Structure 1
Amino acid sequence: MYMALAACRSPALTLLACVGFLLVVGVARADLATLDQPGDTVALRKEVEMLADALRREPGQAKLHLLRGFAYFKLRELDAAIADFDRALSLDPSLDDAYFGRGMAHGRAGDLDAAVLDLGQYIARNPESTLGYTKRGIRNLWKGDAEAAERDFLRALELDPANAEAHDDLGVIYAQRGEYTKATEHFRACIKSDPSYQKAYHNFALVCYLVGHNDQGLSLVDHSLRLRPDARDSMLLKAEFLDRLGRAGEARAIREEAEFVPEGNWSERATLQ
């Protein structure tokens, strides 16, 4: 997308053509599924500059504010993203995707009530959106409302039984309740739907730790680390398994290595605590 957007800077293209290209490419609904994944910072900065230039010429273009809101969100500039989504909706209240983007941004900014409300608006307009229910469920989970989150994830799975994110998050809820059999069923379903879903392996491994299935848990956490070698929580969990299996020296070495790995990431994907 960014290489193509750069073409809009060509003097040979009119502003109208540039704006038209943005509207066709930028608001593709499929992009919503990857909105929470940070993009290339340099490319996103160029996109923001280009959209700002277009908005100076055409300040009433709601969809340009929407696109810039998405770019700011991926840059983690949440206040700027929310301001653009606000402006987009004030210009065109029919922009469903602006409710989705603003709900995502409010959630990341810690305003979970506003996030749930905005995603509820998106769902009301898109009642068959498994993604909408999944993202609202995550924010309900962050609020500590496990029952509302469970309802959202179950609805997401009714709409798409292969929704890996909903399976993983539902597994987290059941594991936190001590319903380990149900939790592992959902972690297995997540991995079947998306074998690259790193946190499902970690979460499944943690349930194995809780129930004493150490060999299976070690295998699962190793898989988690193959997918993401810098996953600090998985490194520390592996050390726990190694201690249990009498491999204290290996456990100590992993803990020492983990001390130099930054904590956390910007993923939506929930980790069982």
Structure 2
Amino acid sequence: MRVRAPYAFFCAALSGALLSPAWFTPARAEVSNPCFTGEGSVKEVIDACAAFIASGSTDNTQVIRAHSVRAMAFSAVGDLDAAVAEMDAAVKIDATKPNSYFMRAAAYQAKRDYDKAIADLDEAIRLDGKQGDYFLLRGMVYRDKGDLDRALSELNEKVKLDPEASVGYSKRGDIYRQRKEYDLAVADFDHVIKSDAKDAKAYIDRGWAFVLKNDLDRAGADFDKALELQQNDPSALVGRGLVKSRKGKPTDGSADLALAKQLEPGIFDEIRKLGVE
């Protein structure tokens, strides 16, 4: 499916389904179906899945999968109501599949219907409490609701279940930053960088934590490294410009700040959301 899906949790949920050995057996006729291969345009995938669903297949596992693929495709083009409807159908077929609740929760989060998202995640976790991504998404929903204590608790569980997954540390670092626990935020971003020294975003995240700690030397080094890895990243440019201005003359960072605004006009508003004045 040639599409940039904006909702990462749909992608994560679907990827887990697509990679399951249960989907791949030589006898399956669906191996060339765009619904299951992901090949083709969004419309072609949606239509192929609709045709498979309408075919009257009695293979509920594959029918649920077809609804899940349609949900991801609809979410990719911003039709979240249609995505929810697909996962409603999947849940109706088999209410014991935790991944269906997880994927529907992702759509509800994108719709900002946080209470329904949490209800679905509660059910997914009741059915399978060992999936770190379920706690990760529930943490992000609590964050969106402004409940940072609950969000932190969920992210702690994600890290406990998936200690090798950098995303848990990255998201928990964001929560620590919002809670103004900057040393803990830095420690989590350290872990991400240790796992992948070429992760530009991790240097940017840590750089802003250092800015909030007023450790401008280390912040500047992180923004420099991020720009080495990802040239002209707007957030890193703002960070480097801010550090230059604070360490030297107010105009020293003007070029970086101007370029950042040119590349992403709303970048200053995004930086203010980090708590940076």
Residue 54 of structure 1 corresponds to 90
Say whether residues 1:142 and 2:178 are aligned partners.
yes
Higher relative contact order (CA 8 A, sep 6+): 1
CA 1:40–1:197: 2 relative to 1, 3 Å: farther
Query: One-letter code of the match for 2:276?
Result: L
**Does the 8 A contact of 1:202 with 1:224 survive in 2?**
yes
Asked if residue 18 in structure 1 is aligned to residue 60 in structure 2, the reply is no
Partner SS state of residue 163, structure 2: coil
Q: What is the TM-score of this pair, normalised by structure 1?
A: 0.74
Within a 5 Å distance, the mapping from 1:87-106 to structure 2 comes to 87-106=123-142
C-alpha distance after superposition, 1:189-241 (max 9, x if no partner): 2222233632121122122221234555121112212321233x2xxxxxxxx
Q: Does 1:200 align with 2:243?
A: no
Report the equivalent of 2:165: 129
Percent identity over paired residues: 24
**Counterpart mapping for 1:170-249 below 5 A:** 170-195=206-231, 197-214=233-250, 216-231=252-267, 233=268
Whether 1:272 and 2:273 are equivalent positions in the alignment is no
- How large is the RMSD of aligned CA atoms in angstroms? 2.8
Q: Deviations over 1:83-103 (max 9, x none)?
A: 211111111112221011111
2:118 aligned partner: 82
Letter matched to residue 19 of structure 1: I
Aligned equivalents of 2:163 and 2:122: distance in 1? 22
Report the Cα offset of residue 141 of structure 1.
Answer: 0.8
Q: Name the structure 2 match of 1:41.
A: 78
Unaligned runs of 5+ in 2: 6-41
Q: Secondary structure at the match of 1:229?
A: coil
Paired with 2:112 and 2:265, the residues of 1 have a C-alpha distance of 24
Q: Distance in 1 between matches of 2:151 and 2:89?
A: 29
Q: Distance in 2 between matches of 1:6 and 1:65?
A: 23
**Alignment match of 1:9 (pick from 50, 71, 78):** 50
Q: CA deviation at 1:63?
A: 0.6
Q: Deviations over 1:9-46 (max 9, x none)?
A: 3212635323134668989xxxxxxxxxx96432x221
